[in-house]
Amino acid sequence: MRIKGRAWKFGDDVNTDLIIPGKYLELTDPIEMAKHAMEGLSPIFAARVKPGDIVVGGRNFGCGSSREHAPLALKYSGVGAVLAESHARIFYRNAINIGFPALECPGIAKSVEDGDELEVDLKEGIVRILDKDIWLKFIPLPEFMIRILDSGGLTAFLRFNMKEWLEK
């Protein structure tokens, strides 16, 4: 699976309040959540992001609350993947669980500039910065998580693999 788009670059410790502020947690429709994606950091992001665009972060991306609204807002705004030096635990699980690739890619923060064209190959585990001819490898996901991602998320995975899940 390949994802290609423009990089939206952010810094270290991008927390879930910045991705979607607490006042929107009453929302239950992901399309409505998407209208406020990254509102705490960028007033233009939600309006200008295009399908396939890639969010690039530094260390500890997604730290803070357990709100699944955060990866949902990004996914439904059209973002194809989040690449960061490292991800906070709950955000990372949530992203994979909703079928949204959150990848840890050492060196990404210093190599990518805002607006760079990126191409991510999930299968090969490679990010290409197209204009700069730079290739970076990301840390492969554990096999179990790849299966969840391939299914489109934990919900679909369980729907089709319930028997296996319930085995000891």
Partner 1 sequence: MGMTVSEKILARASGRDKVQPGEIVKAEVDLAMMPDLTTILSFKAMKEMGVDRVWDNEKVVIFLDHVAPASSLQAATVHRDIRKLVSEQGLKYFYDVNSGVCHQVLSERGHVTPGMLVVGADSHTCTHGAMGAFATGVGSTDMGAVLATGRLWFRVPETIRVEVEGSLQHNVQPKDIILKIIGLIGADGATYKAVEFSGETIRKMNISGRMTLCNMAIEMGGKTGIVEADDETANFLSNRCKTNINPIRSDLNAQYEKVLRLDVSELEPQVACPHKVDNVKTVSEVAGVKVDQVFIGSCTNGRYEDLEVTAKILRNKQVHPGVRLVIVPASKEVYLKALKNGIIETLLQAGALVSNPSCGACFGGHIGILAAGEIGLTTSNRNFKGRQGSPEAEVYLSSPATAAASAITGVITDPREV
What residue ranges bind partner 1 (CB under 8 A)?
A: 13, 15, 17-18, 21-23, 25-28, 40, 59-60, 63-69, 71, 86, 88-90, 93-94, 97-98, 142, 144, 153-156, 158-159, 162, 165-166, 168
Q: What is the rounded distance in angstroms from the CA atom of residue 93 to the CA atom of residue 126?
A: 21
d(CA 56, CA 102): 10
Name the burial class of residue 81, with classes exposed (0-12), middle (13-18) and buried (19+) by CB atoms within 10 angstroms of its CB.
buried
How near is the Cβ of 29 to partner 1 at its closest, in Å?
10
Q: Which of 111/151 has CB closer to partner 1?
A: 151
- Minimum Å distance from CB 94 to partner 1? 4
CB of residue 10 vs partner 1: minimum separation in angstroms? 12
Contact between residue 54 and residue 2 where contact means Cβ atoms under 8 Å apart: no
Q: Which of 80/99 has CB closer to partner 1?
A: 99
Using alpha carbons, select from 40, 8, 21, 30 the residue that is nearest to residue 100: 30
CB of 98 to partner 1, least distance (A): 6
Tell me the residue ranges of DSSP E strands in 10-144.
54-57, 81-84, 102-104, 117-121, 126-129, 134-137
Using the minimum distance from each CB to partner 1, give the nearer residue, 26 or 133.
26
Identify which of residues 80 and 153 has a Cβ nearer to partner 1 in the complex.
153
Closer residue to partner 1 (CB): 84 or 118? 84
